[in-house]
Amino acid sequence: MKIAIINGPNLNLLGRREPHIYGHTTLGQIESGLSEVAKELDVELECSQHNGEGELISAIHALTDSADGIVINAGAYTHTSLAIRDALVGVNLPYVELHLTNIYAREEHRRRSMLAEDALAVVCGFGAYGYELALRGLVSTLRNRG
Amino acid sequence: MKIAIINGPNLNLLGRREPHIYGHTTLGQIESGLSEVAKELDVELECSQHNGEGELISAIHALTDSADGIVINAGAYTHTSLAIRDALVGVNLPYVELHLTNIYAREEHRRRSMLAEDALAVVCGFGAYGYELALRGLVSTLRNRG
Amino acid sequence: MKIAIINGPNLNLLGRREPHIYGHTTLGQIESGLSEVAKELDVELECSQHNGEGELISAIHALTDSADGIVINAGAYTHTSLAIRDALVGVNLPYVELHLTNIYAREEHRRRSMLAEDALAVVCGFGAYGYELALRGLVSTLRNRG
Amino acid sequence: MKIAIINGPNLNLLGRREPHIYGHTTLGQIESGLSEVAKELDVELECSQHNGEGELISAIHALTDSADGIVINAGAYTHTSLAIRDALVGVNLPYVELHLTNIYAREEHRRRSMLAEDALAVVCGFGAYGYELALRGLVSTLRNRG
Amino acid sequence: MKIAIINGPNLNLLGRREPHIYGHTTLGQIESGLSEVAKELDVELECSQHNGEGELISAIHALTDSADGIVINAGAYTHTSLAIRDALVGVNLPYVELHLTNIYAREEHRRRSMLAEDALAVVCGFGAYGYELALRGLVSTLRNRG
Amino acid sequence: MKIAIINGPNLNLLGRREPHIYGHTTLGQIESGLSEVAKELDVELECSQHNGEGELISAIHALTDSADGIVINAGAYTHTSLAIRDALVGVNLPYVELHLTNIYAREEHRRRSMLAEDALAVVCGFGAYGYELALRGLVSTLRNRG
Amino acid sequence: MKIAIINGPNLNLLGRREPHIYGHTTLGQIESGLSEVAKELDVELECSQHNGEGELISAIHALTDSADGIVINAGAYTHTSLAIRDALVGVNLPYVELHLTNIYAREEHRRRSMLAEDALAVVCGFGAYGYELALRGLVSTLRNRG
Amino acid sequence: MKIAIINGPNLNLLGRREPHIYGHTTLGQIESGLSEVAKELDVELECSQHNGEGELISAIHALTDSADGIVINAGAYTHTSLAIRDALVGVNLPYVELHLTNIYAREEHRRRSMLAEDALAVVCGFGAYGYELALRGLVSTLRNRG
Amino acid sequence: MKIAIINGPNLNLLGRREPHIYGHTTLGQIESGLSEVAKELDVELECSQHNGEGELISAIHALTDSADGIVINAGAYTHTSLAIRDALVGVNLPYVELHLTNIYAREEHRRRSMLAEDALAVVCGFGAYGYELALRGLVSTLRNRG
Amino acid sequence: MKIAIINGPNLNLLGRREPHIYGHTTLGQIESGLSEVAKELDVELECSQHNGEGELISAIHALTDSADGIVINAGAYTHTSLAIRDALVGVNLPYVELHLTNIYAREEHRRRSMLAEDALAVVCGFGAYGYELALRGLVSTLRNRG
Amino acid sequence: MKIAIINGPNLNLLGRREPHIYGHTTLGQIESGLSEVAKELDVELECSQHNGEGELISAIHALTDSADGIVINAGAYTHTSLAIRDALVGVNLPYVELHLTNIYAREEHRRRSMLAEDALAVVCGFGAYGYELALRGLVSTLRNRG
Amino acid sequence: MKIAIINGPNLNLLGRREPHIYGHTTLGQIESGLSEVAKELDVELECSQHNGEGELISAIHALTDSADGIVINAGAYTHTSLAIRDALVGVNLPYVELHLTNIYAREEHRRRSMLAEDALAVVCGFGAYGYELALRGLVSTLRNRG
């Protein structure tokens, strides 16, 4: 089983960008930590990060016949991009929407998600630890289905 | 460390109520499974379920000096009850909002949560397994803070 | 065949509460009248009234394996309670929404019903006589289905 | 006592139009059935159907000194016609608004009625049987007033 | 110079329909009074009344090469009919929108006019006398332009 | 009988301000013309113009026991001033709302009037001639009442 | 195969009505041109135009067992008539919604279509030529289905 | 004269719950202070607090023939409960709506009151002292009426 | 301690303006009564009334170094004036918003206050007696702070 | 004459992505078919597809002096991208907006187009065949203008 | 060339009013600084400040034949006054809208400007220095036009 | 001190794109002019332009440790891109939002800015000259802070 971890715009700044909101862990540290969990769960991981909407779409397309599920933190595109949702639905892979912060406790424009309606599940507010929970939840659900 | 698992209206029907939406696991089975996880995490659990808004409020009040955090699935009150939010904030305990289904993939009136704004985190869409993820996330966050 | 007649908050005041709006018939008199109709229709009746939302939910749950349909006048909860609708849908029984007054001729906040979307039918504006019409309509529909 | 049964646009298609929604009974069959009920109730009936808004208005005007009440299923005009409401109020006759389906369980634009605010009562969701209930309710109310 | 006076749905009821709102003057009396004013102003009048939207449209079309301006009281169609506005604009004749009552002092749905945006002028609230004012205003404006 | 003609902010610019919209007639010329009509109608006139909201309110108060009705063109305050409406209602005098232009054919924010709801009548779109129509309509209505 | 071309209110004015918007081609010329295309496509055409909503509904009903598809330009009723949509759905024939102008480039109230939701397809902005495109598209789709 | 002081959900936490918002005075201290004022005013007091909506409704019903007026702080139900308003109107007793904080200076969802429309008066923002002002205002008003 | 009592537009009409709504007490009588209360409370009063928004602003500015708090009934400006709120905040004095009537029981446009968000407290619905309550509440709060 | 056919995000998936909605024809097959039509019409074609918004903008810029018109299916960017509209207007080329599906019969967020307001025309709902209709319509319009 | 600098309500408090928001510079200091810039630019300045809406309107009228452009900081009237906009448009002078703070970073009701739609330009957020920028921008634009 | 000048989509067309709106100056000319101003102000400039959202984000990230402030004209992304705002806030640099035109005088969808809420200041409507004003304002503010 192979799971893609996809991160969107500005997440390359993690650890430096507004640490009082997003914490001090860098994206590299998160990805390293997820590798450990992936080993425990016996799944293959593929991690990527893109600032461009079109690049994210192409990255999702590239998973068509190679991945079994996606954990996606689309950053600010979560709230504006119908095209990323179309890409996720187009490749027909179950995905978990993930946010570091509790988006419902933030500004109004961060409370509406364009992706959530077709997601398998949503996890937000646990900081970097949320990636692990999303990965565990996705793998567990896929194995129960299989 | 003691965690309260609080379930709201109609969740006593779990396993029988609309199983195509909510699954076949009963609330009793969920609570049993959580006991196992609690042991692994070395935390004490206290589970309860109430159909009444006032009873839920009183149950939350009763946790004031005895619990360290709450996992709450407030059912339909999630979308209408400001009083439960006041109770949660009033006892000053961190709480995770939990839903069996992905509420953002359902009817419009299930997409707005009255509780989310003050929650620590939100987990939805993983079915019964979500309780375990919410519990793990809450305990992990509390231990990192302590 | 058994039909439950469920009345919600403030309907115990019937006959005394704002009689220029709700009429002078008491709830007891309405229930007595319905007994006569039930005999004519050869159905069993079970009548109850509750002021609490949680109590109404529990009363609906209790009908799970004993009733064939429900006539419900949920009073003001009609306009605010998603939890009662969940209970009605959860026990999987057809129900008729009933109002003494024509709610569409009243204040704005009484024109939106949280229950109507999943109801079998709606009757309003006939005063106490509406209960009889709702009962006849429900029984007729159930017999045509059976 | 004389009651007018007025049907609006597309109801002449009844029995053939979208039978999964509106049923297989034709308008002629409904009117025949109502004649039986009218005899039992000892009232005179006058039935008509029109596709045009102006024709419905003129038909309502024609009842001015001849009818005592109206059961009206204005079809789609229910949701758009202020002029039919003006006609109904203009002839100063009590009327019951009737719909075959539960309009609150359908598309958004069928949930708002232009006629309901001045109606005596509303009945919807009982299919063809609803006409009988509306007729009984209207006659009962008129006799209690008289 | 020839002016058309066009009245819409339910205005044939004038004098009998809700006289506390619309007064006791009949449409015939209004038209007679306007004839006197027309003589004084030396203009030709053509009066008509229709309950149907399509008939009003056709009546407006018929004025294409024969009238110089229109005073129109479109009744309830004022608030719902884009097609009548298209007809008025289509024949390219200046028109005055007229209402017996002050529509801004009435129900919300009578405050929006579909016709006003392309009208020359609007007069409302003067009862039957408003027709005379509208006629005088229209003739005066046309003569100042000519 | 005495009628007050009250003009609001910027109407002192009439004849110079945006003449393609408001015409070339000055306020002085309008007031002179109205004097002629007043003589014909045998009523006394009192004309004033103020740019300040508070001054308009005080001017309206001053009419309490001296005028029988008001023709008011409140200019832009029409769309924003609840206080002027309170003043008009407070002195308990019937008033006609007057606009030079057809306000419904202009920008959105000029289509809502704060004054119309309590006005006797509204006249707009006839340019300077509208003052005469408003005056005739007001006097005629007052004499029919008296 | 037989296709109905149905035109709504004011389209009889085509060629004369606001030619800067709708062009100089008359409806007769359009229908003649379509006859040529119909011959090329080997389909039978039936063209009609009505100003009344009720007449359009009746005309649609009359196609029940005789036509295979409809090209409809419902004019201003496009934006207001739920009853015409009910008629189109009631006769169960695929239809293409057609507009001479690009309705999305016009006033706000012309951008919402009541018919589009159940239409097979929509064509707008090509002027008179759009009828030919709509006819070709409808015939092609029907033949691919058959 | 007898006045009921009714407190709603979470007010039993007063003094401990968010003291930076609600202050350090407990509900018991407030009720004691009110007893002193009641003596001064020579009125009888009856104080109660409930977390449940249904219990509050029943408590209000119980006042039917025993109290002359109500001071109610319905807590969060203020913003959501139509049923409590129905109960207050149903027992036909004048009531003052009271809030510790200035609810208009808080979150959006605390600015709308379901109870205010039928209240005699509203007092908010004076903290615990507001109960005394509400009581004085209610008694004064009742005595001026009597 | 010095308190300013500021009244806005139309309040000079008090006692004569719509007495069924605002009562028969004049502003002079209210101010006299308040003098008595001020003596009892040992505070200095300064009362003023202005119809103009700018004059009210200047009056508020003049209090900068002379008053300790303000009771303000801004009349209709309450609902429209951001500038008065800026003045109140600009002089940095705590103020109580006061209304004679329960503004929440009146027309929609009187339910929104521009001033409330920065007010210390709000009192409405007690008629003239409300001024006394507002004064007592303000003085009590200021003394508890001092 | 040269026409550009521009396709946006996810259209490279055509034939594989949700074929029950978008059909089984691939983008390559559509472009081949259009070549045939282009030959018949004697126009030059230039086809491209991009997933990125910025790439689409640059592709549009590149047409500045080389193309005469554009057929654009901007996919999900249709509903969110003001920047693409600016690019289309910036190069001053007439364009036809094209959709495979009837976007008005789909989810709410697919019904609003950011591009339509400045488009020459819109075609939607004919599947792959729509490209041919859009091309024919665009060429016909350009030749009639030329 | 002569430029008017017009300041609205509460700006006379500048330097004392909420200095954490508006800074410590007084209006007199700003006007002195602008004199220096005016000399450098070789333009004449005329500065004024008014708290009243009517006074601001009259001040604008007085510029009719004497000024070439206006820099206006209308304070809170920016967000509510259509009458000031009418005055500015009425005297037909180009104006720059100026704010000390970035109004888009403040409360919702300070984000909408009634004046901006007809302004030449808008500058906000630079504090007192913004007046200089606005003056430079206005003069530069006027000289490029001349 | 180093300032970045960042331009977004379609601004490479400047001078050719809709010159009646955006003027005839090219982006190259603007950047040359700014170099002169930068010399005068003794600051270093770095200018760039990108059509892609992701490329703009990456360009902003690249400024992290090299620039002191940003002048950004994000073109149409101003109104839709939350991700660019996140990038600007993420690198923690003060920025001025700049527009050539007065965006408040244009279409509704150009009046809302996603960037303004976190900007230091906003300048719009001065055409190409606005860049100079924005630069001067930014440098002045930074130097006053330092």
Chain B contact residues (CB < 8 Å to C): 8-10, 12-13, 16-18, 50-55, 75-77, 79-80, 109-110
Q: What is the pLDDT of residues F65-118, one digit of tens each?
A: 899 999 999 999 999 999 999 999 999 999 999 999 998 888 878 888 999 999
Catalytic site residue G79? Answer: no
Of E16, E17, E53, the CB nearest to D53: E53
pLDDT at L105: 86
pLDDT interval class at A75 (50, 70, 90): very high
pLDDT at J146: 65
Best of I6, I13, I115 to mutate (most F CBs within 10 Å, chain F)? I13
pLDDT at A100: 95
Of I12, I16, I52, the CB nearest to F53: I52
Instruction: Name the catalytic one among E24, E99, E104, E131.
Output: E99
Q: In the predicted model, is pLDDT for residue F120 greater than 80?
A: yes
Q: What is the pLDDT of residues G98-112, one digit of tens each?
A: 999 999 888 888 888
Which ranges of chain I have pLDDT less than 50? none
Helices of type H across E23-65? 27-41, 53-61
Which uninterrupted H or E stretch holds D49? Answer: strand D44-49
Going by their DSSP bridges, the two strands H69-73 and I69-73 should be labelled as unpaired
d(CA L114, CA E101): 46
Quote the minimal CA–CA distance from E41 to chain D in Å. Answer: 33
SS3 at position J48: strand
Show which subunits contact J, needing at least 3 CB pairs below 8 angstroms: A, G, L
Residue K60 burial (C-beta neighbours within 10 Å; 0-12, 13-18, 19+): buried
Q: Is E53's CB within 8 Å of D54's CB?
A: yes
What mean pLDDT, rounded, does chain L reach? Answer: 94
Which uninterrupted H or E stretch holds F139? Answer: helix F129-145
Chain E residues in contact with F140 (beta carbon < 8 A): 126, 129
Best of H53, H113, H114 to mutate (most C CBs within 10 Å, chain C)? H53
Chain G residues in contact with D52 (beta carbon < 8 A): 52-55, 57
What mean pLDDT, rounded, does chain B reach? Answer: 94
Return averaged pLDDT per consecutive 10 residues of chain H, 146 residues in all.
97 86 90 97 98 98 95 97 96 97 86 93 97 98 87
Quote the minimal CA–CA distance from B71 to chain A in Å. Answer: 13
Which ranges of chain J have pLDDT less than 50? none
d(CA I22, CA I11): 10
Q: How far is CA L24 from CA L20, L21, L30, in A?
A: 8, 9, 11
Taking residue K30's Cβ as centre, other Cβ atoms within 10 Å add up to 25
d(CA D86, CA D78): 12
d(CA G105, CA J23): 29
Of K57, K81, K89, the CB nearest to F18: K89
d(CA B85, CA B75): 13
Given a contact cutoff of 8 angstroms between Cβ atoms, the answer to whether J101 and J76 are in contact is no
Tokens 């609007």 sit on residue: E122
Q: Which of E45, L137, G140 is nearest to J37 (CA)?
A: G140
Q: In the predicted model, is pLDDT for residue G146 greater than 70?
A: no
Instruction: Name the catalytic one among A77, A95, A99, A131.
Output: A99
d(CA L107, CA L110): 6
- 3 state SS for chain L: CEEEEEECCCHHHCCCCCHHHHCCCCHHHHHHHHHHHHHHHCCEEEEEECCCHHHHHHHHHCCCCCCCEEEEECHHHHHCCHHHHHHHHHCCCCEEEEECCCHHHCCHHHCCCCCHHHCCEEEECCCCHHHHHHHHHHHHHHHHHC
Of A52, A79, A110, the CB nearest to L53: A52
d(CA J75, CA A83): 8
Q: Give the rounded distance of the alpha carbon of I94 from its chain centre.
A: 12
Q: What is the pLDDT of residues E77-122, one digit of tens each?
A: 999 999 999 999 999 999 999 999 999 888 888 888 999 999 999 9
Average pLDDT of G36-44?
A: 97
**Taking CA atoms, what residue in C is nearest to D121?**
C125
Contacts of A126 (CB under 8 A, 6+ apart): A100, A133, B120, B121, B137, B140, B141
Taking residue G40's Cβ as centre, other Cβ atoms within 10 Å add up to 9
Q: What is B87-112 written as a DSSP string? A: HHHHTT--EEEEESS-GGGS-GGGS-
Best of I11, I12, I16, I17 to mutate (most F CBs within 10 Å, chain F)? I17
Of F104, F120, F127, the CB nearest to E122: F104
Tokens 């409507």 sit on residue: L125
d(CA D27, CA H72): 55
pLDDT interval class at L146 (50, 70, 90): low
Given a contact cutoff of 8 angstroms between Cβ atoms, the answer to whether I88 and I56 are in contact is no
Which uninterrupted H or E stretch holds B47? Answer: strand B44-49
d(CA H111, CA I103): 13
Q: How many CB pairs (< 8 A) connect B and C?
A: 59
Going by their DSSP bridges, the two strands G95-99 and G121-124 should be labelled as parallel
Is ipTM strictly over 0.90?
A: yes
What mean pLDDT, rounded, does chain D reach? Answer: 94
Chain L contact residues (CB < 8 Å to A): 52-55, 57-58, 61, 64, 80-83, 85-87, 89-92, 114
Q: Is I129's CB within 8 Å of H117's CB?
A: no
Q: Do chains C and J touch (3 or more CB pairs under 8 A)?
A: no
pLDDT at K6: 98
DSSP E strand stretches across chain G:
2-7, 44-49, 69-73, 95-99, 121-124
Angle at which helix J129-145 crosses helix J27-41, to 10 degrees, equals: 30
Show which subunits contact C, needing at least 3 CB pairs below 8 angstroms: B, D, H
Q: In the predicted model, is pLDDT for residue F15 greater than 90?
A: no
Average pLDDT of C2-13?
A: 97
What is the DSSP-derived secondary structure letter of residue F84?
A: H
Q: Do chains L and F touch (3 or more CB pairs under 8 A)?
A: no
| Encoded tokens for J65 | 């002096």
* Bigger pLDDT: C24 vs D27: D27
- Highest-confidence range of B6-10, J62-66, K111-115, by mean pLDDT? B6-10
Helices vs strands, H then E, count in chain K: 5, 5
Best of F17, F18, F22, F115 to mutate (most K CBs within 10 Å, chain K)? F17
Q: In the predicted model, is pLDDT for residue G24 greater than 90?
A: no
Given a contact cutoff of 8 angstroms between Cβ atoms, the answer to whether G79 and G101 are in contact is no
Q: What is A107-135 written as a DSSP string? A: -GGGS--SSGGG-SEEEESSTTHHHHHHH
**Taking CA atoms, what residue in F is nearest to I54?**
F54
pLDDT at C16: 81
Q: In the predicted model, is pLDDT for residue A145 greater than 70?
A: yes
Q: What is the pLDDT of residues K2-57, one digit of tens each?
A: 999 999 999 999 988 778 877 889 999 999 999 999 999 999 999 999 999 999 99
Q: In the predicted model, is pLDDT for residue B95 greater than 70?
A: yes
**Taking CA atoms, what residue in F is nearest to E140?**
F129
Q: In the predicted model, is pLDDT for residue D17 greater than 80?
A: no
| Encoded tokens for G56 | 């359009």
Instruction: Tell me the catalytic residues of L.
Output: 22, 99
Q: What is the pLDDT of residues A17-68, one digit of tens each?
A: 778 877 889 999 999 999 999 999 999 999 999 999 999 999 999 999 899 9
Q: How many CB pairs (< 8 A) connect I and K?
A: 59
- 3 state SS for chain C: CEEEEEECCCHHHCCCCCHHHHCCCCHHHHHHHHHHHHHHHCCEEEEEECCCHHHHHHHHHCCCCCCCEEEEECHHHHHCCHHHHHHHHHCCCCEEEEECCCHHHCCHHHCCCCCHHHCCEEEECCCCHHHHHHHHHHHHHHHHHC
